[in-house]
Structure 1
Amino acid sequence: MLVTATMLATVTGTAAPASATEPIPPLTASSAAPAPGGPADGHPLLDGYRPEPWRTWVQPEWSAPAGRYCSFPLQVRVVTQDVRVRVVARHPDGAVRREEFTGPLVVDFVNGDTAATARRDAGGSGAADYRPDGTWSRYTIVGPAGFGFRPGDHHPRGYYLLDGLHVVTIDTDGTRRLAVGFGEQENVCLALGD
């Protein structure tokens, strides 16, 4: 199957160019590596793509108050992890534009009221896109990976384990919406008693 710019625009939430129905040129050895100081040999998918070295990233344990994601306090405890992150694109001022995350991650989701626990594999891959001010604009997941939706977001409240391809967009006011969802969406709040 040929991927067109229209398909990519749908997944990434960007505007498709006028030539959107034309297939995107295939990657070649010359287009896979960015030209020093310039666009990636003119390939539309790699413009500005300049991967930096992978580095270790530590998933912190966290908790959320009752009502944010679940009707009870939700805690996330890390069981095992070997997550890596790398910057793949920067804004003109040097601020991070896109980061990629990957690596094994197993966590326990815990109901803070009852101590009920659900262990899940959350070790998928993701790409976080940032605005020039550092706020998130989009998070693309090839799951499994977790993501939370709060009251007022454009998706039912809950903390979800997303498996498959999912794209979450974040408005400038912080409102989240699930723009693309192919695959499973498990609301772990339900597994813990909501």
Structure 2
Amino acid sequence: MHRTTVVSALALTTSLLTAAPASAGTPAAPGTGTGWEPAPTAPFDAVAGARCDFPIHAEPVVDEVVQKVLATHSDGSPSEIAYRGALVIRVTNTDTGAFHDADASGSALVDYHTDGSQRWHAVGPVLAGIGEHDSNLPRGEQLIDGIYTLDISATRYKTLHMIHGSTDNVCTRIG
């Protein structure tokens, strides 16, 4: 079955941020009746060498991301969540104060597997924190933009499958 993705991620934001939005692991609570609920992105810090050669702090300056649970596993946990909405994350070099506002307002349909792995079907920009030897991408705070899938294994290894697009290491912008 082929799906057309028209929804938003975050983080893949907790910078994909460790690969998922802060509330991605919990089903949306009943609310407005539309099924779309807020999916706030948590701020985070990374020590020098983890992602950039210097310590960073990241936090949303615009966060209008919402989520909708589309399917659940037999235990009631989400198996498929759609994300959409504006997200701008300020990434700051805490040694110098230099910062970059990364537009991570992409859309994603995320499949959550029972072993803890995930598959992101994404369109548009998403910010992904990548550690040394944690991905087929180089270490950094990577802004991934385009049409792609991102597989996140149960051990948190991230594999980008770019269909069309680019990556931009935000560390180089604030270093």
**TM-score interval for Structure 1 and Structure 2 normalised by the shorter chain:** 0.7 to 0.9
Aligned to 2:40: 58
TM-score (norm 1): 0.67
More helix, by proportion: 1
Aligned to 1:106: 88
The structure-2 alpha-carbon separation of the partners of 1:129 and 1:68, relative to structure 1 and needing over 3 Å to count, comes to: farther
Shift in Å at residue 169 of structure 1?
0.8
Give the Cα–Cα distance (whole angstroms) in 1 for the partners of residues 107 and 43 of structure 2: 19
Matches within 5 A, 1:1-80: 53-80=35-62
More strand, by proportion: 2
Aligned to 1:138: 119
Q: What letter is aligned with 2:129?
A: G
Q: Whose relative contact order is higher, 1 or 2, with alpha carbons under 8 Å and at least 6 apart?
A: 2
Shift in Å at residue 120 of structure 1?
2.3
Aligned to 2:65: 83
Match of 1:149 among 123, 126, 130: 130
- Cα deviation digits, residues 112-166 of structure 1 (max 9, x gap): 2111111122111122221124x23222221112112211122211111111112
Aligned to 1:123: 105
The structure-2 alpha-carbon separation of the partners of 1:192 and 1:107, relative to structure 1 and needing over 3 Å to count, comes to: same
Give the Cα–Cα distance (whole angstroms) in 2 for the partners of residues 84 and 90 of structure 1: 17
Asked if residue 163 in structure 1 is aligned to residue 132 in structure 2, the reply is no
Give the root-mean-square deviation of aligned CA atoms: 1.9
1:189 is paired with a residue whose SS is helix
Q: What letter is aligned with 1:160?
A: Q
Q: What letter is aligned with 1:137?
A: Q
Q: What letter is aligned with 2:146?
A: G
Shift in Å at residue 181 of structure 1?
4.5
Q: Where does structure 1 lack aligned partners over 5 or more consecutive residues?
A: 10-51
Shift in Å at residue 97 of structure 1?
0.7
1:72 is paired with a residue whose SS is coil
Q: What is the aligned length?
A: 144
Moved over 6 A (4+): none
Task: Indicate if the aligned counterparts of 1:141 and 1:162 stay in contact, CA closer than 8 A.
Answer: no
Q: Give identity over the alignment, percent.
A: 33
Task: Indicate if the aligned counterparts of 1:128 and 1:136 stay in contact, CA closer than 8 A.
Answer: no
Q: Which of these two proteins has the greater Rg computed from alpha carbons?
A: 1
Aligned to 1:190: 172
Q: Where does structure 2 lack aligned partners over 5 or more consecutive residues?
A: 4-33
